[in-house]
Amino acid sequence: MDFTLNALIGFLTGILSGFGIGGGTLLLLWLTMVRHTPQLQAGGINLIYFIACALPALWGHIKNGLVDFQAVLFCALAGAPACAAGALLASQLDASLLRRIFGGFILLIGLREVFHRAGREDEPAQRSR
């Protein structure tokens, strides 16, 4: 039953990740809060999981012409050293501090999503009466 539930959670969060909804964040919450996986181990699992979810999503975006390859190159060149530096920093931090930092980050992102309205292209324009 334990394996089946974990596989189901992985499957569902994978689908959400493919749609860009944040399945990786939900997986991290599942691993740390429900499964009591140590924060660093959960982060490592999430990185492996991300590769498995990102590759099919990337293929779909390339097929639909939604990828700006110049931006990809810039992000990859800047992101690789930043990831290495972040991993080194995270390995030096206390796990409880890392967990609090992550929780604060998720809280800030959630608040921004709830309260920030300006500049959203996906919302219909306000009609004047």
Q: How confident is the chain (129 residues) per 10-residue block, as mean pLDDT?
A: 86 80 84 89 87 83 93 93 90 86 89 78 51
* Residues 15, 115: Cα–Cα separation, whole Å: 26
pLDDT at residue 127, as a whole number: 47
| pTM (two decimals) | 0.56
Task: For CA atoms 124, 25, 23, 78, give the dihedral sign.
Answer: positive
In the numeric block, which tokens belong to residue 61? Answer: 């975006």
